[in-house]
Amino acid sequence: MSTTISRVKESLILKLPDKSFYDLCHELYGVNRGVYNVIDHWFYHNGYQDIELRRDTILVFLDYLQKQKITKFGKGGVTQSLELFKASRKEKEVG
């Protein structure tokens, strides 16, 4: 039962208005609006046009950053982290 409730909550999160979804990302992961916009833009232009799939992937990416203890970015650091994330996902698909 709790798995079903969790899936319903996740589905609702992915359908939030943009500002509310950003606020959630900020609250959970400390990401600022500029970084969030770069992430959202990057995923959109890398094949994630479906908003729910993109938002789900953004949450997976932010969780990945948290597990890697990446909290700050230098110039180009967000894009570099996105490329590393993309490569790590490809490795999991192959392996």
Please answer whether residues 44 and 54 qualify as being in contact, where contact means their C-beta atoms are separated by less than 8 angstroms. yes
Spatial CA neighbour of 43 closest among 79, 14, 12 = 79
What tens digit of pLDDT does each residue of 50-91 get? 999 999 999 999 999 999 888 788 888 899 999 999 998 887
Strand ranges, E, within 1-95: none
Tell me the whole-structure pTM to 2 decimals.
0.86
pLDDT for 43? 97
CA distance 6 to 50: 21
What tens digit of pLDDT does each residue of 22-50 get? 999 999 999 999 999 999 999 999 999 99
Domain ranges of the chain: 2-94
Residue 2 pLDDT grade (very low, low, confident, very high; cuts 50, 70, 90): very low
